[in-house]
Structure formats: C-alpha cells, structure tokens
Structure 1
Amino acid sequence: MDNWREFGTDELTPPLRAALGVFARHGYHGASIRTIAEAAGLSVPGLYHHYRSKQAILAALVDAAMAEMLTHTAAAAEDAGDSPATRFANIVECLARFHMARRDHAFVASTEMRSMDPDVRAHHISQRDAQQTMIEDAIRAGVDAGDFTCRHPEDAARAIASLCVSIASWYRPGGPLTADDVVARHLGYARAMVGATEA
C-alpha cells in the first residue's frame, strides 16, 4: 500500500454503495430491497441477481469496510518499523482517518450489529477483535519497551477503539476541526490513556 493515510473512493460495487446510503439514512430495518434496487438503478430481480437477500447485502457491505480498515491498519503498523511507540501512533492515526473518511461505512457497521444474523455478527466481531488486538499488541510492546506505563492494555485498547469509532458520528468535513486536528487531538487522548512517557 502506497499510503495508508489516504482513503480514496471506496471499492464498493454500485449495489453496495447504494445500499450504504439507504442503510445510513433509514437503518437496516427501514430499508427495503426495492428502495436499494431503485437507488442502484436496478430492478428488484436485478439486485437479487447480485445478492440473494438484504442480509447478504449488509454482510458484504460491512465485510468490505472492515477489510479495508484492517488492510490500512496493518500497513500503518508495518510502516512504523521497530518502534512500538510509532506503531501505536500510526494505528491510532489510521483508525481516526478511517472513521473520518468512511463515516457511513463505520456508522452502519457499528449500529447494525443488532441486525446481523448470528454468523454474520460472529464474522464481524472477529474482524473487530483483530483490529483491537493490533492496538493491544502495540500497547504491550510499548510497555515492554518502557514507552508506556499502562497497567491494563486490554482495557486501554478497547477505550481507544471506541474513541476512534465515535469520530464517525460527529466529524464533518468543513467543520471547525481539520482531519489533522482530529488526529492530533485523538493521539493526545490515546497517549494519555497508555501513560506515554514522552509526547
């Protein structure tokens, strides 16, 4: 990956992009297959040709968003080299940037867990846990290196993940904070949570 900080146009198929807009506006249960098909410029049978059900659409949409987030985060971690503190900072920055660039994707993934079938929810949780593990591992490495004084890495990782996820609910481009401002503030919060020994 050339630049993990950059999030261009997503790679969603037209039906999934249409569904994303409908789910973000109306919620999963408020969305109909007909509404999604119309938004995608398809007939209902045409939409079913691509996805067998509304649940399959939700599963594909959330999986694509989580896969993109994990790919970028892994690249951010690798870009840090051997420095645990830099790996931690890169991961937090990547999560913040993802949740600014993919607000609707993150919102749907977060709020529609309640609408997922058990197997879809289990897969989503495994992806979410993989993301949190990356944060936790970076914190533990930072503690071992003497960069952090965090006594509860698992709790801190969970709190930092939640902090970054929440960005999607309030950040707006053109608002009073630039993306770089948001990153800087959230890095400050995250470093405080892990007891960073240096700013």
Structure 2
Amino acid sequence: MTDAVSAEATVPDWRVYPPMELPRILEVALTEIVEHGYDATSVRTIAREVGVTVPALYYHYENKQAILVALLEHAMTTVGGHIDGALADAGDDPVRRLSAVVEATALYMATYRDLAFLDSERRSLTPENRVRYAGHRDRIDGLLRSAIEDGCRTGIFATPVPDSARRAIFTMCQGIATWYRPDGPRTPTETARDYVRIALSAVECRDMRGD
C-alpha cells in the first residue's frame, strides 16, 4: 500500500508554490536523502524519525525504492502541473511559451529546491522506474523543444543551434536547485525572471515580449 500524495494536474495560479505538504514518511525521507544521499539513507532511520516501526512503514511503502519513486513522482506532477498552467496562459506564441516553461521550472527549482535536488538521485532508480521517470523529464524537454522549433521556424528565434540552446536552457534550469538559497540576494520570482531573459538570449530572440 502506498500513501497518496496530493497534487493536482493543473494549478489555480502557476506562479504560486505554496508550502509543500507531504505525508510524514516522505517528508522525513526527503530530508534524509538530501542530507545523506539515497544509498546512505536507511528505512530503519526513516522509521525511527517518523516514530513508527519498520513493518509499519512497509505497510505504506514496500521498500526504499518505492519511497524514492513516490517523491520523484510528486516532483514531476508538481512541476508538470505548473508548467501546464503557464502554457495555458501563454497561448501559441513561441516567445511566451518558452518564457512560460522556463519561468515555471525556475520557480519550482528555487522554491522546492530539496524536492528538485532529488533529480540527481535518478541514478538510484531501478531500470524500469528510471524509464518511467525519464518519460516525465522528456515531456518537459519536449515542451522546450517545441517552443524553440516554432520560434526558429517563424524567425522570432535566430539561433543556428536550437538543440544546443535547448539543452543549455534545460540544464541551467535544473542547476538552480544546486545553488539557490532562500536567504540569498534574489527571490524565486527574481531568479525565474533572470532565467527567462537568459533563455531568450540563448535562442537569440528578436522580440523580448516574454520579459
């Protein structure tokens, strides 16, 4: 049996990331994995911190892998819902679509940085779970690709290397979780806007309406 994590497919306001709510087991597991790494985190430690026995924990999650999968599924559902909301507002315009994907992703990375940091633990997934998780990541990558290709086709984006620009944008957004600090000089909103400007520059945008 697995505890369900509440996450809507769409969100009322995609720019708003409320305080994250996770079942207690996942909350503790997230803290332990971020601090010590997946391999060094034990089910026994999670159970002790939660205040349950190991058999009781296994009633909710069959093993440590299931806990990691639940966390990563929640991560992808969360960021995916916000990106979908942003794209719904953006319409068909490539500049606004690219800006929407980057802004929503950057906001997620800065606001839920511990959850976002778990992407680095995808190497710990079993082959089957890794394929499933890769599908989620590929979907976001595909949204970037579509916006960039449409912008290049219409001449709004002048980059001669759209694939390289896409990879650079995707990678830089993911990197936010590794360096962003809530007590730093930039808020998540400011950081997201910075990254939108960088992304539009990367594709050599001729029209900065996404700013």
Q: Note whether the superposition's TM-score is higher than 0.5.
A: yes
Partner of 2:141: 132
- 1:91 positional shift: 0.9
Distance 2:160 2:52 in 1: 54
Matched residue type, 2:200: R
Q: Does 1:55 align with 2:70?
A: no
SS of residue in 1 equivalent to 2:186: coil
SS of residue in 1 equivalent to 2:40: coil
Relative to the length of structure 1, the TM-score reads 0.94
Structure 2 counterparts to residues 162-173 of structure 1, below 5 A: 162-173=171-182
Distance 2:112 2:146 in 1: 25
- 1:25 positional shift: 0.5
Partner of 1:36: 46
- 1:11 positional shift: 4.2
Please list every run of at least 4 consecutive aligned residues from structure 1 whose deviation after the TM superposition is greater than 6 angstroms: none
Residues matched between the structures, number: 198
Q: Alignment partner for residue 166 of structure 2, among 129, 140, 157?
A: 157
SS of residue in 2 equivalent to 1:120: helix
Distance 1:153 1:8 in 2: 34
- 1:187 positional shift: 1.4
Residues 65 and 106, structure 1, Cα contact 8 Å, conserved in 2: yes
Distance 1:13 1:161 in 2: 29
Distance 2:163 2:52 in 1: 45
Distance 1:123 1:63 in 2: 9
Structure 2 counterparts to residues 74-85 of structure 1, below 5 A: 74-85=84-95
Partner of 1:179: 188
Distance 2:88 2:154 in 1: 17
Q: Which moved more, 1:41-50 or 1:11-20?
A: 11-20
Distance 2:163 2:60 in 1: 40
Matched residue type, 1:52: E
Q: Which moved more, 1:8-17 or 1:112-121?
A: 8-17
Q: Does 1:14 align with 2:38?
A: no
Gaps of 5+ in 1: none
Distance 2:14 2:64 in 1: 31
- 1:90 positional shift: 1.1
Residues 63 and 124, structure 1, Cα contact 8 Å, conserved in 2: yes
Q: CA RMSD of the aligned region, Å?
A: 1.3
Q: Does 1:71 align with 2:81?
A: yes
SS of residue in 2 equivalent to 1:3: coil
Q: After superposition, what is the alpha-carbon deviation per residue over 1:61-114, rounded to whole angstroms, capped at 9, x for unaligned?
A: 1111011111111111111123221111111100100001111111112x2122
Identity of aligned residues (%): 38
Matched residue type, 2:103: E
